[in-house]
Amino acid sequence: MLTDTPGIHHVTGIVREAQRTHDFYTGVLGLRLLKQTVNFSDQFTRHLFYGDETGSPGTTLTFFPYPGEEDGRIGKPQASTVALVIPPESVDYWQERLNAAGRDVEGPFDRFDERVLRFHDPDGTRLELVTGESPVEPWADGPVPTQHAAGGIHSVTLLSMSPFVTASVLDTFGFELRKQEGDRVRYATAGDRATIIDILDRDVEFGREGAGSIHHVALRVSETAQLYEWHDLFRERGYDVSRVKDRHFFHSLYVREPGGILFELATDRPGVTADVDTETLGQSLYLPPWLEEDREMITSQLPPLDTGSEKRTT
């Protein structure tokens, strides 16, 4: 029997340079490099995972670096923004930190009952820091003091071709309408983290996938058997849905709902710590067993990545 998704599992974006992305998300935002692997569908492209100390579901941002990628354009149908949650007393700290790192910061401004800072990463990915409470323990060994550190994903914002249809799909996933402010409509689940998805009901231009765009939003599923049930439901409704895929750290499937948003459903387990000690996360290139025999060829074609840069702030 299908059960509601408890919230967001991870968010994946497209960037241009692996090193620049790494330096920003570890050195400026203070996230931990959890995994450096490859796109399992494109073995000569890196796939970088960042989050809390152990890669808890609901904390992870992942990126595909494509060196020659053209700029993306934010528009419909896309996830336009991903937000991280910060302590309410940390707004001034983060505004100063982002300014010192050369980021143009919009805000702080009020939205619902929160304070919001808006900015972009070096490739133009739209990011926000939003005040709130989180059960997530931040990474204690990062460059950001723990009393100010981000506590995982707060929310994502969607630009849909059909906001009412996308809202209906969120309802199917277990998200409920909570509140509305202007053209922003908030949906949330009853989970303990990363539970919010906002839909913007506004007329905007069409987006273009590229550097700085969000590729997909992944939602949490308890076990692999549930994925097959979701797959059958989506097929019955005529949605564009993939087969269930083995991503090694989790199993998942992808569905593009009628409003045009690409969702992934991903299991919480086994997780990024399943095959290595927590202390050594992210320190070396991980390849799944079916690619291990090609390690030398793959590594020779990947741009170098210095992972000893967690405390950089440029």
pLDDT confidence of 314, banded at 50, 70, 90?
A: very low
| 87: helix, strand or coil | coil
Q: Where are the alpha helices (DSSP H) in the chain?
A: 18-22, 91-100, 163-173, 224-236, 295-301
Residue 272 confidence (pLDDT) above 50: yes
pLDDT confidence of 158, banded at 50, 70, 90?
A: very high
The mean per-residue pLDDT over the stretch 91-113 comes to 97
Look up residue 275 and give its two tokens: 């095959």
Stated as kind and residue range, the H or E segment containing 109 is: strand 106-111
For residue 127, give Cα distances in angstroms to 10, 124, 154, 225: 14, 9, 11, 34
Render pLDDT for 106-153 as a digit per residue (tens, 0 to 9): 999 999 999 999 999 999 999 999 999 999 988 888 999 999 999 999
Render pLDDT for 166-225 as a digit per residue (tens, 0 to 9): 999 999 999 999 999 999 999 999 999 999 999 999 999 999 999 999 999 999 999 999
Please give the domain boundaries of the chain with CATH numbers for all domains: 8-301 (3.10.180.10)
Residue 282 CB neighbours (<10 A): 22
